[in-house]
Amino acid sequence: MGFEIPPSYLENIFNLDLNGLSDEICSCEPRYILVSYEYRRDDGRVSYPYCLIFSSPRNSPNDLKMLYAGTLHHFTDISQVTKVYELHDLEDLNEEWLIEEMKKKGI
């Protein structure tokens, strides 16, 4: 199965504050968001987990939700992420939310 994303559909946002990321993403359509984030552990160690946030707003058209959900596994494989977090409300997307989700999955 081939999977190709036209360059015109790709958006690269570097050095963006995670708290401002929701302003850059469409709130009415699903999106895959690849994130490499500086995470400071309680013991002082720093790691840079590479993860995927699957944004699937509740008000998205059902056909788009199905399209994105159906290709999520393949996208996860080709992007080589190990952690996937699902988000239904972009207003929740901030540093606190991501840290909470990472702790739930043992990062």
Non-local CB neighbours of 75 within 8 Å, separated by 6+ positions: 3, 32, 52
Q: Report which of residues 17 and 40 the model is more confident about.
A: 40
Please give the distance of CA 105 from its chain centroid, rounded to a whole number. 15
Question: In the chain, what are the domains?
Answer: 20-97 (3.40.20.10)
Average pLDDT of the residues of the chain: 85
Give CA–CA dist 40/46, Å, rounded: 5
Q: Report which of residues 73 and 7 the model is more confident about.
A: 73
pTM over 0.85, yes/no: no
> Which of 20, 86, 98, 96 has its CA nearest to residue 57?
86
